């Protein structure tokens, strides 16, 4: 279904991306929690949400959404629109609530993904043959929400440039972004590093901060110590660490109370 058709069905206002309405969309995700958005595995999808701050653009970009439709008549601030322009991410706004918006699109046939073709698999294998080894490292400041996600965004661009396959890039982006946001939300400062090899990509997030007293409890879905101000942004749903583990082939976490936490994740290629 073309984005222009979605615009008409939802009687939506175009906030940015008039020239991109011809793109094809295969699916949709409706959510107001960042971790739910990142955990969604649909491809070539649009994001339906009521969140309008800058991090929604970063999150949608990390998860490779094709466009964003703001529900309930929400209009993002101008700086959010400018950020969407940088990511070439079309923005629309509809007066319909989230539930109704999802229902309209589902009824009209926006229901599922196309299965990958054999040719697509061969292309991925050829891409992987050209992948070069590389190490990347980024320092992260705690409570710096204005720059949150930029390290992951830079790493994602580099992975595309050196020919990593799209599935691996998406998984790396999700685990790295969740880890980066954990540092911003909970720690004083930290570092996010990427070890890129032809066989795997290793992501390490290490921070200086309060540490985790009970790792087993922290790994439970829904457990969170995030303050209310963070929850209001759509974060802090207790899905960060579970999502990191879900999208990793290897997941290791160590923490010392009063000192900090280290998470190591490996995505096989």
Given a cut of 50, whether residue 64 has pLDDT beyond it is yes
Secondary structure of the chain in the HEC alphabet?
Answer: CEHHHHHHHHCCEEEECHHHCCCECCEEEECCCHHHHHHCCCCCEEEEECCCCHHHHHHHHHCCCCEEEECCCCCCCHHHHHHHHHCCCCEEECCCCHHHHHHHHHHCCCCCCCCCCHHHHHHHHHHHHCCCCEEEEEEEECCCCCCCCHHHHHHHHHHHHCCCCHHHHHHHHHHHHHHHHHHHHHCCEEEEEEEECCCEEEEEEEEECCCCCCHHHHCCCCCCCCCHHHHCCCCCCCCHHHHHHHCCCEEEEEEECCCEEEEEEEEEC
Whether 66 and 44 have beta carbons less than 8 Å apart is answered as yes
Given a cut of 60, whether residue 72 has pLDDT beyond it is yes
Whether 151 and 129 have beta carbons less than 8 Å apart is answered as no
C-alpha to C-alpha distance for 62 and 154, rounded to whole angstroms: 11
Given a cut of 60, whether residue 83 has pLDDT beyond it is yes
Whether 210 and 189 have beta carbons less than 8 Å apart is answered as no
Give the pLDDT confidence of 105-129 residue by residue, as tens digits: 999 999 765 444 333 433 444 444 4
Q: What is the pLDDT of residue 63?
A: 84
C-alpha to C-alpha distance for 27 and 47, rounded to whole angstroms: 9
**What are the sequence ranges of the domains in the chain?**
3-107, 119-268
Q: How confident is the model at residue 96 (pLDDT cuts 50, 70, 90)?
A: very high
Average pLDDT along the chain: 88
Q: What is the pLDDT of residue 125?
A: 46
Q: How confident is the model at residue 131 (pLDDT cuts 50, 70, 90)?
A: low
Give the CATH number of domain 3-107.
3.40.1390.20
pTM of the model: 0.68
C-alpha to C-alpha distance for 31 and 198, rounded to whole angstroms: 35
Give the pLDDT confidence of 168-192 residue by residue, as tens digits: 999 999 999 999 999 999 999 999 9
Give the CATH number of domain 119-268.
3.30.565.10
């Amino acid at each position: 279904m073309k984005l222009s058709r979605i615009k008409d069905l939802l009687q939506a206002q175009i906030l940015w991306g008039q020239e991109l309405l011809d793109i094809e969309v295969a699916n949709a995700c409706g959510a107001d929690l960042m971790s739910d958005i990142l955990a969604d595995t649909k491809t070539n999808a649009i994001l339906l949400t009521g969140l309008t701050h800058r991090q929604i653009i970063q999150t949608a970009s990390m998860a490779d959404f094709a466009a964003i439709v703001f529900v309930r008549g929400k209009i993002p601030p101008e700086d959010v629109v400018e950020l969407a322009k940088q990511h070439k991410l079309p923005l629309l706004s509809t007066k319909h609530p989230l539930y109704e918006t999802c229902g309209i699109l589902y009824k009209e046939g926006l229901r599922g993904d196309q299965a990958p073709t054999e040719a697509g698999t061969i292309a991925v294998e050829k891409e992987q043959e050209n992948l070069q080894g590389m190490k990347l490292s980024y320092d992260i400041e705690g409570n710096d929400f204005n720059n949150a996600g930029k390290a992951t965004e830079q790493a994602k661009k580099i992975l595309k440039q050196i020919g990593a396959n799209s599935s691996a890039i998406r998984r790396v982006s999700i685990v790295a972004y969740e880890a980066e946001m954990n540092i911003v939300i909970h720690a004083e400062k930290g570092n996010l590093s990427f070890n890129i090899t032809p066989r795997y990509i290793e992501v390490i997030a290490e921070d200086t901060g309060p540490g985790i007293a009970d790792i087993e409890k922290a790994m439970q879905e829904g457990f969170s110590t995030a303050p209310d101000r963070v929850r209001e942004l759509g974060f802090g749903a207790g899905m960060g660490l579970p999502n990191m583990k879900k999208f990793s082939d290897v997941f290791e976490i160590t923490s010392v109370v009063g000192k900090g936490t280290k998470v190591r994740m490996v995505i096989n290629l």
